[in-house]
A and B are shown apart, each in its own frame.
Chain A
Amino acid sequence: MAQRRTSGTNLFMTAPPISRRKRKRGKKPKGHQTVALQLLSLTLPPLIFSCFTVLCVVAMCRAVPINELLERASQHSDKLHSLSTTLTQELDSHFPPIGRVIMPRPAMCHTSSLQTPIDKDQALQVSESDLMSLARSLLQAWSDPLVLLSSSASALPHPAQSTIFNKIQEMQQYSKSLKDGLDVLSSKMGSSAQAITSLPYRGGTSLGQDKITKLINFNFLLSCLRRDSHKIDSFLKVLRCRAAKMQPEMC
């Protein structure tokens, strides 16, 4: 581009170049075919991509290994057990001594009718499906009593009532997520793993009328919950160790 000189003595004053515009409107729109083609070309890649991702997700979902699922499940059950342990300890801090005397025995738990292994050797001989079934049955048996516990904890005559109530809520959440995880796991382990023994709670909708009764019944329920959560935790950890044969560090 020739530059414009502003000096007066310069004889070669050139005017600025005229900008050239290339007409870009040479092409005419072609019609509906082109539009359709363009639409197709625009939407097809995302379609293909989404189909691909769905397939991949499905495939990958299947590919999640069981031991990882078991790892997550056992972490949930561990948390559940730890919550129940701390709850009983907190409740015991302000528990009337007479309550320990008249508290029902653990055999009175609504889940005691379920036959579970009673020592380590027996537990190690149970099949994985049975272990899973036991765990799921126990977990299922506590979904209603947890609701009762939660409603009772909101008005529990105890100094640590709010803490207890919060922990009960947490336990409900963990119980729910563990239940979902075990449903997925059992579906991978066969039909016998999916059998659930029904263990209905028959304690009614209230823990008692007076304060002592309430506290005693609350404590009793919590002790049953502690035992059952320990059972679930132990079974799942045994399962986890069995599934991770290639990784001994998981046990």
Chain B
Amino acid sequence: MVTADVSLSRVLPGMSPPEKPDKLGCRSPDKETFFCWWTPGSDGGLPTVHHLYYKTEGQENMRQCPDYHKAGSNSCFFSKTSIWVEYTVIVEASNALGNTSSDPLTFDLMNIVKPFAPENVTVVVNIEDSPHLTIQWHTPSNIDTKSGWVTLKNQLRVKPDKSKIWKNYASETQTHFTIYSIDLGVVYMVEVRCAIDNSWSEWSNTTFVKVPNFSRKDNSFWILVFSLCLIPLLAAMIILILKRKTVKKYILPPVPSPKIRGVDVQLLKSGQSEDVINAMLLNQRFPVMIPWKDQKEDYLIVSDKETSYLPLEKKKIFILPLAMALDSEVQSKETSEVDHFPKDSESSSEESSDKTESSQLLTKCSSANVLNDEKANQLKGVTEKIFQPFGICGYVDIPRHEHMQEADYSRVNEVNGDNILIMKKENIPHTLDTQGQEGSVPDNYSMVKEVNSDNVVFLEKHSESVNASFKAKGYIDWVNQKPKNLHMTGHSEMGVCPQLVGCEYVDTVPPPAVI
């Protein structure tokens, strides 16, 4: 404001010329216009006017400020400027007593360029998808960016309310920005500034914004989704538990295990002994049994006692094991394992004969070598239950019935050829039955001396040589004096060596069929 004419005012003592104006400053907010300001000093008690004079680089005269009003009091606004020229500005304060000039200020327009802060800064909080802040602002007005004379750069900074550190973000020429790294439930402060030619404005006014804690709508949505997903899960689990056996079968199929033909595992498990025996024995075919070479010889004495002689039609085989070592053993075996016939007991023989029908017999001899001498004394008084011991025992395989159908004994008259036995009509030379059994030995029995091959039977002619062979009455000894290894399978003969000559056991069991 231009003051009133100084000369008209009255000068009083104590008044002084004005102080020089101070703190000159100029600023160009748009690189086209600029304004300068000053701070007036004391006026010295008199009305003081200030004038601003300026001069550019090439000029000699100072010119006065064109506009003292537009930029406010104590300022001067320059609308027409030059760039890349040096300005010199002086402010003069004058009152009735004198003029006082300030210090000159020299500057170039490019040095005083400083835009105003951006306007209309708006911050929008959005937490729909992911929480973010959308910040928008306007460039300061009256800046010509279209011609390219002015290029603005933008910068913004954000900080949580309680933090002390600002986070700066650069936004080149755009007037909007989005920040994603924000936390929920925090109050944020946002400030923006801009720059012309690397000269930054002040920061804009702080905008406060609060980010809400959570979105209720989102939460309920997710709760709904979660519960919906749970239902099929629970259903699947229940089904799995209910049908766990099926599932187990499906996942872990049973491992195939080897099966024995004809044997039902379940039947075995349920376990009636008869069924077991049927399953195991009848339906099976046993492998070839190797005779015990190292075992002692055993005898098989097949006796056909007169008293116990059964009619031919019965076609039974009576087989007695000899050389039973102990009475007790004999007794026990008699009932359990062995079918044997007491010499003088019909009933028992019958009884035992019944047993022979049913199955094959496996007789077991205990080693009776030791008892040979002992029992020898008992030969004479052999009772039913005392069997003549033989030094050698072994397994006796009893042939099947069909093979031994020749239960009907007949007298052999002659032996012709390999397998011709001519039946005898007259008495057979007596058997040397020195055992002293009760009863009479039928005369029509002959001792077999040797079994040569499959069908050859050498009959003993002499009886003395068989003294040592302890034959009970009614027994027929099958003698084999040939110490050869008779691993004959499928033969119906048995060889037992009575004289402790190396004898062999002959298997009379027909060979099992190979499965």
- Residue A119 lies at the interface, judged by CB distance under 8 Å to chain B: yes
Asked whether, in the complex, the Cβ of B197 is within 8 Å of the Cβ of A227, the reply is no
Residues of A within 8 A of B110 (CB): 227, 230
Q: A81-B198, A85-B198, A249-B173 are in contact. Are A241 and B148 (CB under 8 A)?
A: yes
Asked whether, in the complex, the Cβ of B149 is within 8 Å of the Cβ of A248, the reply is no
Residue of B nearest to A124 (CB): B147
Which one, A24-32, A202-210, A232-240, is touching chain B? A232-240
A172 to B80 alpha-carbon distance, docked (Å):
35
- Residue B32 lies at the interface, judged by CB distance under 8 Å to chain A: yes
Residues of A within 8 A of B151 (CB): 237, 251
Residue of B nearest to A249 (CB): B173
Partner of A231, one of B84, B146, B148: B84
- Residue-wise, chain B 192-204 has the 8 Å CB interface mask toward A (1 for contact) of 0000011100000
Partner of B198, one of A82, A124, A239: A82
Residue of A nearest to B173 (CB): A249
**Min CB gap B158→A, angstroms:** 24
Partner of A123, one of B80, B149, B174: B149
Partner of A241, one of B32, B82, B147: B147
**Min CB gap B78→A, angstroms:** 11
A239 to B147 alpha-carbon distance, docked (Å):
9
**Min CB gap A170→B, angstroms:** 15
- Interface size, chain B (Cβ < 8 Å): 24
Asked whether, in the complex, the Cβ of B148 is within 8 Å of the Cβ of A116, the reply is no
Most chain-B CB neighbours within 10 Å: which of A78, A82, A120, A249?
A: A120
- Residue A110 lies at the interface, judged by CB distance under 8 Å to chain B: no
Residues of B within 8 A of A242 (CB): 148
A239 to B110 alpha-carbon distance, docked (Å):
19
- Residue B423 lies at the interface, judged by CB distance under 8 Å to chain A: no
**Min CB gap A119→B, angstroms:** 5
Asked whether, in the complex, the Cβ of B86 is within 8 Å of the Cβ of A106, the reply is yes
- Residue A118 lies at the interface, judged by CB distance under 8 Å to chain B: yes
A234 to B196 alpha-carbon distance, docked (Å):
11
- Residue B31 lies at the interface, judged by CB distance under 8 Å to chain A: yes
Residues of A within 8 A of B84 (CB): 116, 118, 227, 230-231
Asked whether, in the complex, the Cβ of B198 is within 8 Å of the Cβ of A238, the reply is no
Residue of A nearest to B86 (CB): A106
- Residue B108 lies at the interface, judged by CB distance under 8 Å to chain A: yes
- Residue-wise, chain B 132-162 has the 8 Å CB interface mask toward A (1 for contact) of 0000000000001111110100000000000
- Residue A98 lies at the interface, judged by CB distance under 8 Å to chain B: no
Residues of B within 8 A of A116 (CB): 84
**Min CB gap A206→B, angstroms:** 26
- Residue B81 lies at the interface, judged by CB distance under 8 Å to chain A: yes
- Residue-wise, chain A 220-233 has the 8 Å CB interface mask toward B (1 for contact) of 00000001001101
Q: A106-B108, A116-B84 are in contact. Are A248 and B197 (CB under 8 A)?
A: no
Residues of B within 8 A of A124 (CB): 147, 149
A233 to B440 alpha-carbon distance, docked (Å):
151
- Residue A107 lies at the interface, judged by CB distance under 8 Å to chain B: yes
Q: A82-B198, A227-B108 are in contact. Are A248 and B83 (CB under 8 A)?
A: no
Most chain-A CB neighbours within 10 Å: which of B32, B144, B146, B147?
A: B147
A-B CB contact pairs (8 Å), 9 listed: A81-B197, A106-B108, A116-B84, A120-B32, A124-B147, A231-B84, A241-B146, A248-B146, A251-B145
